[in-house]
């Protein structure tokens, strides 16, 4: 974007908004994920995946993953269609464009043993920009490490040695009630949507570990191993957003129940992490998204620590230690705006998809004024 790591990018306040998809009759849409797919000799495709529930909240038994693309940067969209569905809920799709393999990967979570979000983490792959997809492959099982549901969160990021890192979190049944405190609860009647599975006599009991996890792949995402578990004694570290700095350092930002975003810094191989601590970004126990541009870290997050009525972009020149709010994306007094996803569209433009409860999915384009260093 033309700015150095010591020179902050400047955002114009000229924003362009558009509706991607409207809520279903009695149902809901959520957890959008964006990806940019380069096209030889032409404009790139903007890809979008999201979860669809037949109930007005997340967690219906038939909750599935939908996918669509846009040839004009989000002005118009191809017909939306299901790409994964089943007998139990599918959660939190995450898109990743693999430039080396020229393929699009979609990661998601599939409930199997608990009514809370997550379960097995799986991946499907497309070689034709989402027209057709491979059968699902297992990335990380519900029973792996500890028998607790695993939940996808943010897109994989490429390390400086060519490895791929995927940040996810572990969410035991009932964890949301434990860590919700007085902040907004998005789950509501979700626990009634999927019958609780009781372990038979002699079976390994469910785990109560609530933590973030970093997975690593050294073959472009075909096989994964656990690199590290990151936890905190007083809060869950939920829905991590992960970035890789130019020196290989990993930076993770977490949703917390403490009213602030938490942050941890990892070694380039992802095996060792600093003690997670709060930073000066208010967080109403809600998901945030991140993007690294020229070693400048952007975070898309809800403003304040009590509700999700507004969404903003903040900028850090200190790898996430300190932050400055740079542009307000959307305000809806009394409403709920959540689950942002951000991608770089061009040198001076980013696109953000997010959910507006009761309305559907929206896309906002924000232009950055290029700063000459």
> Strand, helix or coil at 192?
helix
The pLDDT value recorded for residue 181 is 57
Q: How wide is the angle at C-alpha 355 spanned by C-alphas 159 and 116, nearest 5°?
A: 75
The pLDDT value recorded for residue 176 is 73
Query: Residue 353 carries which DSSP code?
Result: E
> Strand, helix or coil at 190?
helix
CA-based nearest residue to 353, from 14, 43, 99, 70: 70
Q: How wide is the angle at C-alpha 279 spanned by C-alphas 301 and 281, nearest 5°?
A: 25
- What whole-number distance in Å separates Cα of residue 107 and Cα of residue 65? 10
The pLDDT value recorded for residue 190 is 44
The pLDDT value recorded for residue 52 is 96
Q: What is the dihedral of CA 241, 308, 283, 111, to 10 degrees?
A: -50
The answer to whether residues 33 and 48 touch, using CB atoms and an 8 Å cutoff, is yes
Token pair in block for residue 371: 């700063």
Across the chain, which has 373 residues, the per-10-residue mean pLDDT values are 54 77 90 96 95 90 96 95 95 97 97 88 98 98 93 96 97 78 46 61 84 97 97 94 97 96 98 97 95 92 91 95 93 94 92 94 84 42
- For residue 107, the tally of other CB atoms under 10 A from its CB is 26
**From its phi and psi, is residue 181 left (phi > 0), alpha (psi between -120 and 50) or beta?**
left
The pLDDT value recorded for residue 184 is 43
Q: Which CATH architecture has domain 21-180+208-285?
A: 6 Propeller (2.120)
Q: Element (H or E) spanning 180, and its range?
A: helix 175-180
The pLDDT value recorded for residue 116 is 77
Q: Which residues pair with 118 in a beta bridge?
A: none
> Strand, helix or coil at 14?
strand
Q: Strands, E, within 256-321: which ranges?
A: 260-266, 277-282, 289-293, 296-302, 310-316
CA-based nearest residue to 366, from 350, 344, 343: 350
The answer to whether residues 208 and 172 touch, using CB atoms and an 8 Å cutoff, is yes
CA-based nearest residue to 189, from 32, 358, 60: 60
CA-based nearest residue to 94, from 38, 139, 31, 138: 31
- Residue for token pair 């990743």: 96
Q: How wide is the angle at C-alpha 166 spanned by C-alphas 74 and 52, nearest 5°?
A: 45
């Amino acid at each position: 974007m033309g700015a150095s790591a010591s020179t902050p990018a400047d955002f114009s306040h000229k924003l362009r908004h558009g509706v991607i998809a409207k809520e279903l009759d009695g149902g809901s849409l959520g957890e959008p994920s964006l990806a940019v797919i380069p096209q030889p000799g032409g404009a790139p495709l903007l890809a979008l995946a999201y979860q669809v529930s037949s109930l007005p909240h997340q967690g219906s038994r038939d909750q599935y993953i939908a996918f669509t693309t846009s040839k004009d940067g989000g002005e118009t969209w191809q017909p939306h269609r299901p790409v994964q569905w089943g007998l139990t809920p599918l959660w939190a799709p995450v898109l990743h464009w693999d430039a080396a393999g020229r393929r699009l990967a979609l990661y998601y979570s599939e409930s199997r043993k608990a009514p809370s979000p997550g379960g097995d983490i799986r991946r499907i792959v497309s070689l034709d920009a989402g027209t057709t997809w491979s059968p699902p492959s297992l990335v990380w099982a519900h029973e792996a490490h500890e028998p607790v549901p695993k939940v996808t969160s943010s897109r994989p990021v490429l390390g400086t040695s060519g490895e791929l890192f995927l940040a996810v979190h572990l969410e035991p049944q009932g964890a949301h009630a434990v860590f919700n405190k007085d902040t907004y609860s998005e789950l509501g009647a979700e626990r009634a949507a999927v019958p609780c599975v009781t372990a038979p006599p002699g079976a390994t009991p469910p785990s109560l570990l609530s933590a973030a996890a970093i997975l690593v792949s050294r073959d472009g995402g075909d096989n994964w191993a656990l690199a590290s578990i990151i936890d905190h004694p007083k809060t869950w570290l939920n829905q991590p957003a992960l970035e890789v700095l130019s020196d290989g350092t990993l930076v993770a930002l977490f949703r917390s129940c403490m009213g602030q975003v938490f942050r941890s810094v990892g070694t380039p191989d992802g095996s060792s992490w600093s003690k997670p601590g709060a930073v000066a970004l208010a967080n109403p126990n809600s998901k945030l998204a991140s993007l690294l541009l020229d070693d400048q870290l952007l975070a898309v997050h809800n403003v304040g620590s009590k509700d999700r009525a507004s969404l903003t972009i903040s900028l850090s020149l200190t790898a996430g230690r300190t932050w400055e709010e740079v542009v307000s994306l959307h305000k809806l007094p009394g409403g709920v705006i959540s689950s942002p996803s951000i991608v770089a569209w061009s040198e001076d433009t980013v696109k953000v998809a997010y959910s507006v409860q009761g309305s559907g999915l929206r896309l906002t384009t924000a232009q950055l004024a290029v700063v000459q260093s």
